[in-house]
Chain A
């Protein structure tokens, strides 16, 4: 079963096209990351799914059905910013959310505990810091133990501790069988917690699928020698390397993931008359990968 299916969604704000025919499906039980830079259409996409924005064309389904308010009551959603009544405290705000979701108020204390807001639960929302507001929004999404959670930039405004906790929480929720849809501009966040990813740029879906398949990162071996020109020539003869190129003071050889063998590279160079003075394995940075992905499709 697909939790969410979007088909050819378009959204225009006047002359600006925020979404240009986006289609994908979120499988049940996945942690589905929607990755893209600021202004790529992530929030617009989720806003349409949550019925607060109207699509210009295209359609979407929730739980393989025509979407209704009943579906939304079974999805815990944090969209863009924490939205609460400023003059009410955390408990009063969560009571309203629980009433709208038609759930009891029994788990209010529990969700506040999960996000570490128990101490301040009777303080007015207006007195909260950005991080606390974000925590309250996560707590509100958890109300009623929904099977699906939608988090738009969930770690926004959190301190490093809060970020780590939130990522752990997402993993834990997923282990408990929940489907999580998460929008983020942080590649590293998506890589750390998501099983699936869709990459959006300027309203276009560039690619989507398993994280392992899409965010595959090649191994790169950095080498250095006294005569780098000679080193370059030699390494270009090396069969296993996908690509060999000069990079400032080093020669870099890229390999398929997990295929780089430093010993073999060293031996090969030595046997070809080069003594290495620098040898290092590094992962291609995700950012570089992301730029590659987004650049190719433009």
Chain B
């Protein structure tokens, strides 16, 4: 496996677009959370606004222990970027036909695709680490409560969510093979189409929208307190354990389809 990863490293290390996107991504994780953090600071600095916010949200979201959850939620909106990175790195192989050459030169089809999935896992891990650092940083900067690992399980949910988003991107890349098309479908579905379907299906089909692929992971990282308020208002609390399991099942399905498709297709 180390050999395969080192081959992947040789492909990426001199690929400038990859590094630019990765740096931008890491910067946006910090940046997006910083924006929300600043808004929070502004609100909690004003007496009147603080009163209302405290009534709704309690302690500032970016304070321990809710900071893990808040950062996971905000960062999850950026998961289209590692998805994009993954799509580019796979569809590049298709457009250069290097996926063929790699097999011709002696990789197995399985090795080729498993390494891509491994890359997806590594990107998810990098995302999660950045979220942990960002959350810890803002939690300490806020200073309302001392450092605590309470609520850290939302980081685990974020990892699952990142893996799901990136694997959907991998699936699009393998299904469509062409970069533009895969990126277009991935963005349209993950950012807009599914959100609309979730709203409609939740409204008219007894919360069936919650079972859509990416929504099963979105539902695991809601914004602190807001979720509880909405759940109380609608008197319909999702079974988080069940959605965790469904998300895992979806993830297994992406893996299965991607590996199976690459192993049996004409390349």
The residues of A with any CB-CB pair to B shorter than 8 Å are 47, 50-54, 69-70, 72-73, 77, 79, 81, 83-88, 92, 95-97, 99-102, 140
Q: Is B96 in contact with A52, judged by CB distance below 8 angstroms?
A: no
Contact with A along B194-208 (1 / 0, CB 8 A): 000000000000000
A to B CB contacts below 8 Å, 30 in the list = A47-B266, A50-B104, A51-B103, A52-B104, A52-B266, A53-B267, A54-B264, A54-B266, A69-B108, A72-B103, A72-B105, A72-B106, A73-B106, A77-B104, A77-B105, A79-B100, A79-B104, A83-B101, A84-B98, A84-B101, A85-B15, A85-B92, A85-B96, A92-B10, A96-B10, A96-B11, A99-B3, A100-B102, A100-B107, A102-B106
Which chain B residues lie closer than 8 Å to A140 at the CB level?
105
Residue from B14, B103, B106 whose CB has the most chain A CB atoms within 10 Å: B106
Which chain B residues lie closer than 8 Å to A47 at the CB level?
266
Q: Is A50 in contact with B14, judged by CB distance below 8 angstroms?
A: no
Q: Is B103 in contact with A50, judged by CB distance below 8 angstroms?
A: yes
Please give me the residue from chain B that is nearest to A68 by CB atom: B108
Q: Is B7 in contact with A92, judged by CB distance below 8 angstroms?
A: no
Which chain A residues lie closer than 8 Å to B97 at the CB level?
81, 83
The residues of B with any CB-CB pair to A shorter than 8 Å are 3, 6-7, 10-11, 14-16, 92, 96-98, 100-109, 111, 264-267
How far is B266's CA from A50's CA once the two chains are assembled, in angstroms?
11
Given A52-B267, A79-B101, A85-B11, 7 new contacts (CB under 8 A): A47-B266, A50-B103, A69-B108, A79-B104, A83-B96, A87-B14, A100-B105
Which chain A residues lie closer than 8 Å to B11 at the CB level?
85, 88, 96
Q: Is B266 in contact with A53, judged by CB distance below 8 angstroms?
A: yes
How far is B159's CA from A117's CA once the two chains are assembled, in angstroms?
46
Q: State the majority secondary structure of interface residues on B.
A: helix
Which chain B residues lie closer than 8 Å to A81 at the CB level?
97
Which chain B residues lie closer than 8 Å to A100 at the CB level?
7, 102, 105-107
How far is B8's CA from A85's CA once the two chains are assembled, in angstroms?
12
Query: What is the CB-to-nearest-CB distance from A249 to chain B, in angstroms, rounded to a whole number?
Result: 52
Q: Is A99 in contact with B6, judged by CB distance below 8 angstroms?
A: yes
Query: What is the CB-to-nearest-CB distance from A144 to chain B, in angstroms, rounded to a whole number?
Result: 10
- Cross-interface CB contact of A52 among B6, B7, B92, B103, cutoff 8 Å: B103
How far is B111's CA from A70's CA once the two chains are assembled, in angstroms?
13
Query: What is the CB-to-nearest-CB distance from A82 to chain B, in angstroms, rounded to a whole number?
Result: 9
How far is B264's CA from A202's CA once the two chains are assembled, in angstroms?
25
Query: What is the CB-to-nearest-CB distance from A72 to chain B, in angstroms, rounded to a whole number?
Result: 5
Which chain A residues lie closer than 8 Å to B103 at the CB level?
50-52, 72
Query: What is the CB-to-nearest-CB distance from B204 to chain A, in angstroms, rounded to a whole number?
Result: 40
Q: Is B7 in contact with A51, judged by CB distance below 8 angstroms?
A: no
Q: Is B105 in contact with A97, judged by CB distance below 8 angstroms?
A: yes
How far is B16's CA from A86's CA once the two chains are assembled, in angstroms?
12
Which chain B residues lie closer than 8 Å to A92 at the CB level?
10, 14
Query: What is the CB-to-nearest-CB distance from B20 to chain A, in angstroms, rounded to a whole number?
Result: 12
Query: What is the CB-to-nearest-CB distance from B159 to chain A, in angstroms, rounded to a whole number?
Result: 30
Which chain B residues lie closer than 8 Å to A97 at the CB level?
101, 105
Please give me the residue from chain A that is nearest to B17 by CB atom: A87
